[in-house]
Amino acid sequence: MHLLCSLLVAATKHNFRFFCRHTAAADTDNKVADALSRFQWQTFRRLAPQADTHPMAIPPKVWHFLTYLA
């Protein structure tokens, strides 16, 4: 939610619009993202065995930019 709030504030400050669309997992073939969003790690690993086993840190410049927007 922090990221979404930052994006909304940035859109207000800089006068741009963005659109979001919900993609239901049952209607699409987006099973990897669905498993991640539901914290189903075993399912995610089975569907995406090539994925990194350790999370990637957000680069400091990107993190600063995201927090600056808020």
Please state, in angstroms and rounded to a whole number, the distance separating the CA atoms of residues 25 and 22: 9
Using one digit for the tens of pLDDT, what is the confidence trace for 17-55? 888 777 665 555 788 888 988 999 999 999 999 999 888
The whole model's pTM is what? 0.47
Please state, in angstroms and rounded to a whole number, the distance separating the CA atoms of residues 53 and 66: 25
* Collapsed DSSP state (helix, strand, coil) of residue 48: coil
Tokens of 57: 């840190």
Position 69 confidence tier, pLDDT thresholds 50, 70, 90 = low
Please state, in angstroms and rounded to a whole number, the distance separating the CA atoms of residues 49 and 52: 8
Mean pLDDT of 44-70: 84
